[in-house]
């Protein structure tokens, strides 16, 4: 969970800005919306493709990911991988990837608006032994990406982030 010193709209605009995601998200070189369907019942459906790399220590592997994403009422973004190619492990690295961003009602503090961003994921790895190394690598990459989101939200909100 991230506590962000920004209004909910700034946070939402940051996590759903697929066209500029590569400019601030580590490990993503390009991101594009392939398909966007008109929202029905408050749910917008997208097909998004990302190209980038997966890093762990000295290991770097090219990655291509296609995601079905649902935006629910400018509050929840849920993604499910429909394909995940990780270089040498093409089609075999990940059995399942589901990620969910959820904005928790913003609060006002003495220094301005505060929005909580909750991220959860279900990731089924299918990497060669030792499996714990894969889990550590995924966690490190996700932590770096969440830090990048916090930094970008601070930049867009006109606030500098310390640390």
How would DSSP label each residue in 31-57? EEEEEEEEEETTEEEEEEEEEEEEEET
Does 28 fall in a domain? yes
Please tell me the least confidently modeled range out of 4-13, 101-110, 130-139.
130-139
Look at residue 163 and tell me whether its pLDDT is greater than 50: no
16 Cβ contact list (under 8 Å, min separation 6)? 71, 77
The pair of three-digit structure tokens given for residue 92, joined into one six-digit string: 């075999």
Binned at pLDDT 50, 70 and 90, residue 118 comes out as very high
Instruction: Report H helices in the chain.
Output: 8-15, 21-24, 131-156
pLDDT tens digits, 31-57 = 999 999 988 888 999 999 999 987 766
Q: Is residue 71 part of a domain?
A: yes
138 within domain boundaries = yes
* Residue 161 included in any domain: no
Whether 104 maps to a domain, the answer reads yes
pLDDT of residue 151: 96
Share of the chain above pLDDT 70, in %: 80
Counted domains in the chain: 1
Give the pLDDT confidence score for residue 60 in this predicted structure. Answer: 77
pLDDT at residue 14, as a whole number: 97
In a domain, 79, yes or no: yes
Which residues are bridge partners to 51 per DSSP?
A: 30, 64
The residue among 141 and 133 whose pLDDT is bigger is: 141
Does some domain include residue 49? Answer: yes
pLDDT band at 162 (very low <50, low <70, confident <90, very high): very low
E strand or H helix at 82, and its extent?
strand 76-86
Band of pLDDT at residue 133, cut at 50, 70 and 90: low
- Buried/exposed 54-87: b ≥16 CB within 10 Å, e otherwise: bbeeeeebebebebebbbeeeeebbbebeebbbe
For 113, counting Cβ atoms within 10 Å of its Cβ (0-12 exposed, 13-18 middle, 19+ buried), the class is middle
Q: Is residue 162 part of a domain?
A: no
In terms of residue numbers, what domain contains 41? 2-156
Residue 86: the pLDDT is: 73
Q: What is the CATH number of the domain that holds 95?
A: 3.30.530.20
């Amino acid at each position: 969970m991230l506590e962000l010193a920004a209004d909910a709209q700034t946070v939402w605009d940051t996590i759903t800005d697929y066209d500029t995601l590569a400019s601030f998200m580590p490990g993503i070189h390009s991101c594009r919306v392939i398909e966007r369907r008109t929202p029905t019942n408050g749910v917008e459906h997208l097909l998004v493709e990302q190209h980038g790399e997966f890093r762990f220590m000295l290991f770097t592997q090219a990655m291509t990911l296609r995601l079905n994403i649902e935006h629910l009422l400018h509050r929840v973004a849920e993604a499910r991988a429909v394909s995940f190619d990780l270089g040498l492990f093409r089609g075999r690295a990940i059995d399942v990837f589901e990620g969910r961003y959820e904005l928790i009602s913003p609060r006002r503090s003495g220094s301005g608006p505060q929005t909580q961003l909750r991220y959860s994921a279900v990731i089924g790895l299918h990497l060669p032994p030792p499996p714990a190394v894969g889990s550590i690598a995924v966690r490190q990459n996700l932590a770096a990406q969440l830090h990048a989101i916090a930094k970008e939200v601070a930049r867009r909100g006109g606030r500098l982030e310390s640390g």
